[in-house]
Structure 1
């Protein structure tokens, strides 16, 4: 029975580490850029846009181009956030490849 108790306590410790990692990820801010830095998007760890910065050169472009640049910068930021989140999660799980929303059934 001791082995089961050990396993249970390790699982609970892992769950706590996962919670801490999720909390850390929410605090992360990443930047994405497009058009050679014509547009930059700052994204929070929970995928909220914090800011969109248009360079003076970008402001001279047409609306369609600006829209495309914003979308591309957001997508770049989203990819950067996925990578950063995976790094944080890997630290918490000792390299186990668990999903960010992983929860134990107890």
Structure 2
């Protein structure tokens, strides 16, 4: 493969990456914990946009439990974003000659 062709592929990959990042920012993922008692909606750029806490959790007045469930729900949504981003990046790299042992 010649250097010119590699540069063209790299430029296209940069353009595709910008498109992917814009798509990711618009994407919505959901995380939940406690059997759905706590739910969060997060965008693909990892901004939490909505939190839903079941009213029964407030009645229990267990601050620690609510905090733990919030953390678990946010972590689940965040992991979904990371997994989706990794899958999309693999698609962008398809066909690119990578050095042995290199992975995303």
User: Is the TM-score greater than 0.5?
Assistant: yes
Q: Unmatched 5+ residue regions in structure 1? A: 99-106
Q: Which moved more, 1:2-11 or 1:75-84?
A: 2-11
- Structure 1 equivalent of residue 54 of structure 2: 55
1:67 Cα offset (Å): 1.2
Q: 1:32 to 1:70 in 2, by over 3 A?
A: same
| TM superposition score normalised by structure 2 | 0.80
- Distance in 1, matches of 2:37 and 2:21, equals 32
| TM superposition score normalised by structure 1 | 0.79
- Distance in 2, matches of 1:76 and 1:39, equals 11
1:6 Cα offset (Å): 1.8
Q: 1:70 to 1:95 in 2, by over 3 A?
A: farther
**Structure 1 stretches of 4+ moved >3 Å:** 95-98
Q: Which moved more, 1:41-50 or 1:55-64?
A: 55-64
Per-residue deviation, residues 66-103 of structure 1 (Å, max 9, x unmatched): 111111111111111111111222222228744xxxxx
The higher relative CO (CA closer than 8 Å, separation ≥ 6) is in 1
